[in-house]
Amino acid sequence: MFIEPRVITGSGIARRGWIEVVCGSMFSGKTEELIRRLNRAKIARQRVEIFKPALDTRYHAEDVVSHNQNSIRSTPVPVAQEMLLLAAGCDVIGVDEAQFFDESLVEVCVQLANRGTRVIVAGLDMDFQGQPFGPMPALMAVAEFVTKVHAICVCCGELATYSFRVTASEDKILLGETDAYEARCRVCFQEGMKEKHPESTAEKVART
Ligand SMILES: [Zn+2]
């Protein structure tokens, strides 16, 4: 379990910010972990604000809602830069579904941390094809703390790090479709991808 280096910044010393990343597959409890950290900051009377990309319209427009209904109010923003203004006066900001922002999120998080804000970013580290997702890899590089949380593979019960898409759609973003995904381990993810794309996998194997 992640224990904060400190919850309250700047008692006596200059206010310090930093970046935390919570990443993992679908059903890994990323949002629950984000909410846990933000609730602890709230108990410490920190000013907390949560943002998410405006395109994530699952459940309620203004709540970060995790799959276990443990929710915190949040502000949808169309672009990451808006957070720079909206986060003024905040001690801690949370960003949920960070993978859906573009690369400018990285610079925004760095600027917020540089001006003394604790920034906690949660998002999918890989897309449904097992590729690094949006700004997440760069965020992990600039973060002080990275936590990878795991789901459980629905096929074999091992730890799962992949989000396997059950449907045939090839769109990178399928919103509000949690039924369309399964958490899978490396082996079961590969088996699923082979079943979905028998030819392309055969070609890859032939090349190696
Ligand atoms: Zn498995």
At 145-204, the pLDDT tens digits run 999 999 999 999 999 999 999 987 777 776 656 789 999 999 999 999 999 888 765 555
Cα 147 to ligand 1 centre (Å): 21
User: What's the start-to-end Cα distance of the chain, in Å?
Assistant: 40
Catalytic residue IDs: 97
CA distance 119 to 174: 26
Distances (CA, A) of 185 to 78, 99, 106, 189: 33, 20, 28, 6
Ligand 1: distance of its center to the CA of 159 in Å?
7
Q: Which two tokens stand for residue 95?
A: 């960003």
With cut-offs at 50, 70 and 90, classify the pLDDT of residue 7: confident
Separation of alpha carbons 84 and 153, rounded Å: 38
Residue with the two structure tokens 């949560």? 50
Q: What is the pLDDT of residues 118-153, one digit of tens each?
A: 999 999 999 999 999 999 999 999 999 999 999 999
Report CA(186)–ligand 1 centroid distance (Å). 7
For residue 4, the model assigns a pLDDT of: 82
Which residue, chain included where needed, has tokens 């904060």? Answer: 4
1 annotated binding-site participant: no
- Whether the per-residue pLDDT at 104 is higher than 80: the answer is yes
**Which of the listed CATH numbers 3.30.70.100, 3.40.50.300, 3.40.50.740, 3.30.70.980 matches domain 18-150?**
3.40.50.300
Quote the distance between the C-alpha of residue 196 and its chain's center.
Answer: 26
* Three-state secondary-structure class, residue 147: strand
Burial of 64 (0-12, 13-18, 19+ CB in 10 A): buried
**pLDDT > 60? residue 57:** no
pTM of the model: 0.86
* 31 marked as part of a ligand binding site: yes
Distance 33 CA to ligand 1 centre (A): 23
Domain range summary for the chain, segments of one domain joined by +: 18-150
CA 110, 133, 144: angle at the middle one, nearest 5?
35
Among the listed residues 142, 2, 31, the one whose alpha carbon sits nearest the alpha carbon of residue 95: 31
Determine phi and psi for 194, rounding to 5 degrees: -65, -45
Is there a binding annotation on residue 156? yes
Establish whether 127 is an annotated binding residue: no
